[in-house]
Structure 1
Amino acid sequence: MPSAPPPTGTDRLRAYRDDGPICAALGALPRGHLPPLPGALVALVVATALLGTGLGERHDLALFAPVAVLMLTGLAAGHGHTGRLDWLVPPIIRAIEYGYLAVLGFAQGVPAPLVFLLLGVLAFHHYDTVYRTRQGFWPADWLFPAGLGWEGRMLVVALFGLSGFLPFAYAALAAYLGVLFVCESVLSWTQLVRGGGVMDDLEEEGT
């Protein structure tokens, strides 16, 4: 059965981050005392600068973007995201992840269909997470670590980029994550319907 929804909107923001095991471990170090927005903004600037090099001759520099972003944003993963503007953190992370996968893939010759397929799989997962939580039920607890988190996916791509097997990484991630996210979503929605759960359209929600 799907997990029960968290009690607050700030927990939703933390789920929308889509952190994996590495971020979870790093986020436990400051014990939730490190605000997330400043690091996310700096990470966006740093990632943009590194990705800019990926469009030129220094493709190797762009491969280090995940490490820089992880150190700047991962340490704040345990924060409650209670700040007035902390809702900006998940979309910033999405922009970094999608931008990294797109720029690096196209710059290093990954076939466009593979790049778009992986981005499409991730977009489905993130939309599904947002929609489900707004309907009042949560994805399975194991889904986020099984999906590697945004940091895990970026690190996998970076490692394969260093070894010269980037197209394989995109294909493998798209296949694995596609099966994982779609199957878990279908099973969760099916269980909810069979259990008599109530699903309201987003247009009818007051909040």
Structure 2
Amino acid sequence: MADSPPPSENQRLDLRFLRDDGHLSDSLGRLVAGAVPPLLPTMTGTLVLAVLMVAGLAQLPGITLFAPAAALLLSGVASGHPHDGRFDWMVPPVLRATEYLYLLALGLGSGVPGPLVFVLLAAVVLHHGDVAHRVRCGAPKPVWAMRAMFGWDGRMLLIAASGVLGWLPFGYGLLAGYLGVLLVWESATGWLATPVGTGTDVPRIEDGGANASVT
């Protein structure tokens, strides 16, 4: 497939699309209508999660396994913000790194087989890479596909729920299988349906999260 032309000079990337927010995070963002800048709540939530990780995620009893994901949901309040601040470009990579570390620390610390942890992490990393590459090529993922991947908040909450129920290995395996199949199928059909030489004339959408425009 030939390379797509680069974005034109009058187009810019909307960082909200790269956040990979789920339904819950998007809903929180709509409550404040983009009035909260994203960097501070994201860093605050990440700091709280880091403290919990140092204390030992595997040692958290029962429903408190939701605490790390709940702390990071502070970032969801800012999901509707335009992300046009000087350092707002840091928000998507911080969210991604935090999700990776959470899945890795909880899985390995709780005795989930290493291959299951690796496969789930690989599926999430490949999803993020696919999103970024398709945006760069002017063929962003459709909103339904982003929603179907659950977002960083949905994935973390699902894993926390499986831990509360005592089904952590099953949760890792099931989520990894679902994300892997969806990623392969949607990416293959999406790229095959993309005309060669597609530009980046993507209509701008002012909502945050998966609904955000990339123009």
Same structural fold, with TM-score higher than 0.5 when normalized by the shorter chain:
yes
1:26 aligns with one of 20, 25, 28: 28
1:134 deviation in Å? Answer: 0.7
Letter in 1 for 2:32: P
Q: Verify: 1:9 aligned to 2:12, yes or no.
A: yes
Q: How does 1:29-40 map to 2 (within 5 A)?
A: 29-40=31-42
Alignment deviations for residues 11-43 of structure 1 (CA, whole Å, 9 cap, x no partner): 2x1111100111111110110110000011111
Where does residue 67 of structure 1 map in the other structure?
A: 70
Where does residue 48 of structure 1 map in the other structure?
A: 50
Number of aligned residues? 190
CA distance, structure 1, for counterparts of residue 11 and residue 120 of structure 2: 31
Distance 1:156 1:134, change over 3 A: same
1:148 deviation in Å? Answer: 0.6
Where does residue 114 of structure 2 map in the other structure?
A: 112
CA distance, structure 2, for counterparts of residue 39 and residue 101 of structure 1: 21
Q: TM-score, normalised by structure 2?
A: 0.83
Where does residue 171 of structure 2 map in the other structure?
A: 169
Where does residue 204 of structure 1 map in the other structure?
A: none
Where does residue 137 of structure 1 map in the other structure?
A: 139
Alignment deviations for residues 162-186 of structure 1 (CA, whole Å, 9 cap, x no partner): 1110001100100101111111111
Distance 1:59 1:96, change over 3 A: farther
Where does residue 202 of structure 1 map in the other structure?
A: none
Where does residue 212 of structure 2 map in the other structure?
A: none
CA distance, structure 2, for counterparts of residue 55 and residue 111 of structure 1: 16
Where does residue 188 of structure 1 map in the other structure?
A: 190
Q: Matched residues, percent identical?
A: 44
Where does residue 90 of structure 1 map in the other structure?
A: 92
1:54 deviation in Å? Answer: 2.0
Letter in 2 for 1:43: G
CA distance, structure 2, for counterparts of residue 80 and residue 15 of structure 1: 10
1:9 deviation in Å? Answer: 3.1
CA distance, structure 1, for counterparts of residue 144 and residue 57 of structure 2: 36
1:63 deviation in Å? Answer: 4.0
Where does residue 197 of structure 1 map in the other structure?
A: 197
Distance 1:59 1:9, change over 3 A: farther
1:111 deviation in Å? Answer: 0.3
Letter in 1 for 2:22: G
Distance 1:56 1:140, change over 3 A: closer
CA distance, structure 1, for counterparts of residue 47 and residue 153 of structure 2: 17
CA distance, structure 2, for counterparts of residue 197 and residue 189 of structure 1: 12
2:149 aligns with one of 147, 151, 162: 147
Alignment deviations for residues 117-143 of structure 1 (CA, whole Å, 9 cap, x no partner): 000001101011111111111111111
Alignment deviations for residues 66-88 of structure 1 (CA, whole Å, 9 cap, x no partner): 01111x10100001100010000
Give me the CA root mean square deviation.
Answer: 1.8
CA distance, structure 2, for counterparts of residue 148 and residue 67 of structure 1: 15
CA contact (8 A) 1:51 1:62 kept: no
Q: Secondary structure at the match of 1:35?
A: coil
Structure 1 unmatched runs, 5+: 200-207
Where does residue 203 of structure 1 map in the other structure?
A: none
Greater helix share, structure number: 1
Q: Secondary structure at the match of 1:110?
A: coil
Higher relative contact order (CA 8 A, sep 6+): 2
